[in-house]
Amino acid sequence: MPSSQFGNIQYIKYEPAFGHSFINCEYFLFTLKLLLLSGDIESNPGPDQHNTSCLSVMHQNIRSIRNKFEYVKDNYLDFDILCFTETHLSDTINMEHLCLDGYGQIYRKDGNAHSGGLLMYISSSLISHRIHELETPLPESIWVELTDKTHSLLICNLYRPPHYTCEFWDRLNICLELAFDRSNHIILVGDINEDQLNTRMHKFQDILTLNNMKNVIKRTDENN
């Protein structure tokens, strides 16, 4: 696992938020300048397995993790942070059944056995805690703060069900305003069910622009 000292993060990598195919996962690398909202995507990004200052973040809309838990264990354990949406977990599933080697913290928010649900795994090498007050305006999210001696970074895993009302976007904007009061380093991952390649769907992009943030996903390889 990469070092927990993320003050010198050089890259962040994660799966595109609008990918829906479970098997087709795609990962990207970005510089820390992107987190600081002042830089550009690397011109030739690619995994750097020898970079110990790299923090890796993976998101997957998993559509029932109970049916795919073995696949997760076989394929995703080299990431520092795992974020899942639509876990389809209920409170009848005990936490011990969700443990993964190398991950010291598990944060979950259940829906029911047939819809919804959020799940985050944080590497044992990282110091983290959940920020519940950021979830109050947006129950469809989990907010986690990573800290070291001098820095903090917020990561949000969120899910917007299809055909949700416009109120969701207002509440997301409120969350971001509160989050920026805590840290200037924020990562959003999840499934917002809005096609970012469709220029008529611009509510999410409007929020990013309003908060001086950038959507770094430029393409999708969805194959359904």
**Average confidence (pLDDT) over 179-205:** 89
Domain count within the chain: 1
Instruction: Identify whether 222 is part of a domain.
Output: no
CB 187 within 8 A of CB 155: yes
Instruction: Identify whether 24 is part of a domain.
Output: yes
Order of strands, sheet of 81-85, starting from the edge strand that comes earlier in the sequence: 12-13, 55-61, 81-85, 118-123, 103-109
- Please give the pLDDT value at position 148: 84
**CATH number for the domain that contains residue 159:** 3.60.10.10
| pLDDT over 70 at 27, yes or no | no
* The pair of three-digit structure tokens given for residue 70, joined into one six-digit string: 């073995």
> What pTM did the predictor assign?
0.78
pLDDT in tens, 77-130: 999 999 999 999 998 999 999 999 999 999 999 988 888 999 999 999 999 999
CB 191 within 8 A of CB 163: no
- Please give the pLDDT value at position 54: 77
Instruction: Identify whether 168 is part of a domain.
Output: yes
Instruction: Identify whether 216 is part of a domain.
Output: no
Q: What percent of the chain has pLDDT over 70?
A: 73
* Confidence label for 219 from pLDDT (cuts 50, 70 and 90): low
* Confidence label for 200 from pLDDT (cuts 50, 70 and 90): confident
Instruction: Identify whether 217 is part of a domain.
Output: no
| pLDDT over 90 at 132, yes or no | yes
